[in-house]
Amino acid sequence: GTGPCRAGAVCRYPAPVYITENGTCDNTDSFRCRYLYDHLKALTECGVKAERYYHWCFCDNFEWMEGFSARFGLVHTDYDTQKRTVKKSGKFYAEVIRAGGVTQELYDAYVANEHYHIR
């Protein structure tokens, strides 16, 4: 996450920061919107000048430790047909980009009713 890097980043690095990889495995896409919202909001609130943010990853792919079983993507990949389908989290992230950041409206539409499901 972005928590450990935030504390000293504003003072230590006044220049714009690029977040080059931030994401989470969410095989059911049930909490990725909340994850994205929480991290992007935290960056905004603490004053980090994040000029670029790259989510890991754009579409489901092969992960070295988990193979094809871990789904990190904003776009679902059907490995049998190679068909790609934008997930709810992908639609949320597209809206965040359009809005220029997270908003209360996006929270209400995508995040408010999301809950972490730990098994």
Question: Please, what's the b/e burial string for 57-88 (b: 16 or more CB within 10 A of its CB; e: otherwise)?
Answer: ebbbeeeeeeeeebbbbbebbeeeeeeeeebe
Question: Token digits for 76?
Answer: 């679902």
SS3 102: coil
In tens, the pLDDT along 20-32 reads 999 999 999 999 9
- State how far the alpha carbon of 19 is from the alpha carbons of 5, 16, 31, 114, in Å: 10, 10, 20, 24
Mean pLDDT within 94-104 = 96
Read off the pTM.
Answer: 0.86
DSSP bridge pairs for 85: 76
Q: What local confidence, expressed as pLDDT, does residue 3 receive?
A: 57
Mean pLDDT within 95-105 = 96
Question: Token digits for 75?
Answer: 């776009």
Contact 91, 74 (CB under 8 A): no
